[in-house]
Amino acid sequence: MREKKDGSVVVSTTVLYASRNLGVVEDKLQHPTAGRRDCRYLWMSPQVRVVPLTPGGKLVLIREFKYPNNDYFLGVPAGKKREGETIFAAAKRELEEETSYTTESFVDLGAFHPMAKTLQQDAGSVLALDVRPLSPHQYYNHDAYEKASISVILMDPAEVVAAVDASQLTDGQALAVLFKAFVHLGLVMPRQIPTQLAFSG
């Protein structure tokens, strides 16, 4: 489709960079009132992010080395959704691979766009309920690097909130899906913000 929802018409498309999982694209556009402009954006292959919850109400998070930022980050299990795989199958696989927990009980947390202005990606978010540790003989064979770089951390919601407040949980993807999960679980109270706070800072 050459005409977009804002009335822009695509004049030309140039693929600036492409690999199997990532592309950089530049479109030249003609807008009915704003004239010509260029729009450069990314696409990435489909992914799923999982918020796992134990029967006792703990969140199963991971601590993982994230190379581009040269540091360890608190986050949620996540990974590629393979061709033909349902969002729940991908969520179950990534949950098992990255945490050694599993479940059969999933809730789709709905549409999710990691960086809507910059990135075109099919990115799912899933709440995994009643997650329990796999028995040792069910363990997946992780590759050596993943084994060395991921640790599993159980936190209750109060600890997650404290970690967000203290900037110990700073990955935007984890923050976004945890917000969706907390809203779904009724942990975000939509009361009025005290006027005093709104005024004073």
Count the Cβ atoms, other than its own, within 10 Å of residue 149. Answer: 16
Rounded to 5°, angle at Cα 173 from 169 and 178 = 65
Nearer to its own copies, 86 or 105 (CB): 105
CB of 68 to its own copies, least distance (A): 4
Nearer to its own copies, 100 or 173 (CB): 173
Closest CA to 7 of 27, 26, 33: 33
CB of 76 to its own copies, least distance (A): 11
CB of 189 to its own copies, least distance (A): 5
The residues, ordered by sequence, that sit 6+ positions from 135 with a Cβ below 8 Å of its Cβ are none
Nearer to its own copies, 84 or 164 (CB): 164
CB of 82 to its own copies, least distance (A): 18
**Cα(46)–Cα(93) distance, rounded to whole angstroms?**
14
Nearer to its own copies, 12 or 137 (CB): 12
How many whole angstroms from its chain centre is CA 120? 14
